[in-house]
Structure 1
Amino acid sequence: MRTSRIVGFVEMIFLTLLIFLLQVIPVKANENFTIGITQFAEHPALDAVRQGFEDELKAQGVDANIIYKNSQGDTGVAGVIAQKFVADKVDLIFGIATISAQTAKQATDTIPVLFSAVTDPVHSQLVNSLEDVGGNVTGTTDASPMDKQLALFKKLNPEIKKIGIIYNTSESNSEIQVTQAKEIAKNLDLEIIAVGVNNINDIPQAINSLASKADALYAVTDNIVASAAGLIAKSTIERGLISIAAEEGPVKGGLLMTDGLSYYELGKQTGAMAKKILVDKVNPKDLPVESLKNTTKIVNENTMKKLKLEKNNPAFEGAIFIK
């Protein structure tokens, strides 16, 4: 009888300890999760999103099998990639950039779809609204503080009046930004001159066109523009044009500066959303679209010197200088 009580007591202690351990030690996610990543193009901003996403999955303990595909700027290929992910019955699709996200949504209404590097997910018809997404698609937006960025032109040089923008005519994301820029510019005594391009080969001609009309250049978050950042930087520097980018990637490529978001941090934030969907079993429709609130001011010091700008310029206050 006494032995039975001892055994029962030991079992009770064991169960209590087991319950305690289950509460304090994170349970590792199902290692059989498969995530299909469809990325529209290859350039620093989108690559940073993907890296942040994958790093956050590891940090959250999600040992997912990642299948990465890049459509190299081809909308048709993006559609094929999405359809293949659906056929393979992946657990989640991550669309990086607007077109990749749109083709993923078109391919499935059951598999959870996350997106990032999308400026206006409502206008792009990915979600019903930022708060109530309405289906199996949600994610993070890279909408930049355009008013803050355009205001920098006047700080850099009060004489600037006309701002040139090069944008991809086939990206709704880019057209949205041009429209926004024109509205914001009215309150800043600025005029926007936009030139559309179809591919990277059109960039030199677009720059030549703007050089005779604009005082400076604003680089929106556009896949063609991001891919041609080095070329745009070289051309603007040669013409003495001040350039501001919507995000840090083109600045690293040679444009003058930005006061924008970190795509790596945006990717991490999307990775945390993936964990909620896969591990915590949160329905995508219950996850509002998220955005980064903090921006970082970054200046390319080499470009600054080539444009003969001083480091004490008011626009550079609080900036991180890179070379």
Structure 2
Amino acid sequence: MKKNSVIGVIMFCCAAALFGGGNKDNSGTIRIGISKIVQHEALDAIEQGIQDEINAALPNVVYDLQNANGDMSTATQIANKFKSERVSVAVGIATPVAIALANTIKDVPVVFSCVTDPVQAGLVSSVDRGEGNVTGLSDAIPTAEHIAMFKEIAGIKTLGYIYTSSEDNSIAARTLVEEACAANGIAFVSQSISNSAELRQAAEAIVNRVDGIYLTTDNTVFSALPALIKVFHDNKKPIFSGDVTGALNGGCMIASGFNYYKAGRATGQMILEILDGRKPADMPVKFITDPAETDLLFDLDEAANCGITIPPSYLNAANLIFRNGKLERK
């Protein structure tokens, strides 16, 4: 952001119009409330990316960082807190907290980050524009391409999928996974959970019925990912993760998706535009489409555990390789 634009942001915040720009507190400081549904590497990376992007352009920004710990009543309490404190912008990382913010706050901008299907979630009517005081970024992933790759590499004939029954993004993703399986001649087996404590039991219930499991961006699943990884590792069954961040420590044979830190930076850019006077209603939902913002990881240790050989063409395309217990970056 140019220097004169930054000055314009600060001046604008003093006399912001409804849904455009942001409020300052009595000390002249811009306050940004950020709420995430749970704590795990991907959501933490988004949160950090948002702050880094804003801090690079604006001084004197104060952040109120909140974690709902997977509880919707807590998410609503956080939304009411942001409303009463009149934050300049309220940010919701993941669908449940974004819905809580949008339902509670009507007079300041609400920006969602990494909501898979914002239309189905009721946050916007169309991805072509924002809705009132709400806009944001989607973390939709190429599910059909992932499952076709999984079949080619691992010979998957029956695919498992575990999802959180209370997360709208997970329910929408389940439909996409089932459709992709049908298109690729793969049988589909799903198991729902209501909280992270149920993940190990769900993994144990499904592992002997499938050839491998596919993970979408389900926040509850990823908050307890090591439990699922252990079950599938012990049974020598491969995991394909649509979230690379959660796979960086090993355990997922394949991981492909966008970089969540960069998604946070992209969300931060949207917030800066709003602070500079742009109205959320005029801002389309942002999607991560730049190949430079995506990662492809193969865990060769896990491939060997499952008795699977990764074709050289795929290895050559990967920018992340996990082997001998260590992550290598190309």
| Shorter-chain TM-score tier | 0.7 to 0.9
Per the alignment, residue 275 of structure 1 pairs with: 272
Aligned partner of 2:151 in structure 1 is 154
Decide whether the 8 Å contact of 1:266 with 1:292 is kept in 2. Answer: yes
Is residue 2:297 matched to residue 1:303?
Answer: no
The answer to whether the 8 A contact 1:36-1:92 is kept is: yes
Q: What count of residue pairs does the alignment treat as equivalent?
A: 299
Question: 1:72 maps to what in 2?
Answer: 69
Deviation at 1:67, TM superposition (A): 0.8
AA aligned to 2:307 is: K
**Greater shift in the superposed pair: 245-254 or 234-243:** 245-254
Q: Distance in 2 between matches of 1:206 and 1:41?
A: 19
Distance 1:24 1:208 in 2: 56
Q: Structure 2-normalised TM-score?
A: 0.86
Is the alpha carbon distance of 1:53 and 1:298 closer, same or farther for their aligned partners in structure 2, counting shifts above 3 Å?
Answer: same
- The whole-number CA distance in structure 1 between the counterparts of 2:133 and 2:39 is 26
3-state secondary structure, aligned to 1:130: coil
Question: Structure 1 residues 192-201 or 85-94, which shifts more?
Answer: 192-201
Report whether the alignment pairs 1:256 with 2:242.
Answer: no
Write the distance in 1 (CA, Å) between the matches of 2:60 and 2:42. Answer: 24
Q: Match of 2:31?
A: 34
In structure 2, the residue corresponding to 1:212 is in which secondary structure? helix
TM-score (norm: length of structure 1)? 0.88
Describe the superposition over 1:78-114 as per-residue Cα deviations: whole angstroms up to 9, x where unpaired: 1011111110111100101101100000111111000
Q: Contact (CA 8 Å) 2:6, 2:57: kept in 1 or not?
A: no
Which piece of structure 1 moves more, 56-65 or 239-248?
56-65
Could you say if the C-alpha distance between residues 144 and 85 of structure 1 is closer, same or farther in structure 2, counting changes exceeding 3 Å? same
Mapped to 1, the partners of 2:316 and 2:213 lie a distance apart of 20
The 1:213/1:260 distance shift into structure 2, 3 A limit, reads: same
Matches for 1:109-120 after TM superposition, within 5 Å: 109-120=106-117
Matched, 1:219 2:218: no
Bigger CA radius of gyration: 1
How many Å apart are 1:26 and its aligned residue?
A: 5.7
Is 1:106 the equivalent of 2:106? Answer: no
For structure 2, the 5+ residue unaligned runs are: 11-27
- Match for 1:306: what amino acid? N
Measured in 2, the distance between the counterparts of 1:76 and 1:25 equals: 42
Once residues 290 and 164 of structure 1 are traced to their aligned partners in structure 2, the CA distance between those partners, rounded to angstroms, is 30
> What displacement does 1:24 show?
6.7
Give how far 1:314 is off. 4.7
- Match for residue 94 of structure 2? 97
> Could you report, residue by residue, the CA deviation over 1:24-79 in whole angstroms, capped at 9, with x for unpaired residues?
76645536211011111000111011011111112223541111111111100110
Identity of aligned residues (%): 31
- Measured against aligned partners, the alpha-carbon deviations of 1:4-23 in whole angstroms (never above 9, x if no partner) come to xxxxxxxxxxxxxxxxxxx8
Does residue 183 of structure 1 match 2:182? no
Whole-angstrom distance in 1 between the partners of 2:56 and 2:253: 34
Distance 2:3 2:62 in 1: 26
- What one-letter code is carried by the residue in structure 1 that aligns with 2:186? L
Q: Using the alignment, how far apart are the partners of 2:203 and 2:313 within structure 1?
A: 27
- Supply the RMSD in Å over aligned alpha carbons: 1.7
The alpha carbon displacement at 1:213 in A equals 1.3
Amino acid at match of 1:137: V
Q: Which residue of 2 aligns with 1:16?
A: none
Distance 1:42 1:126 in 2: 22
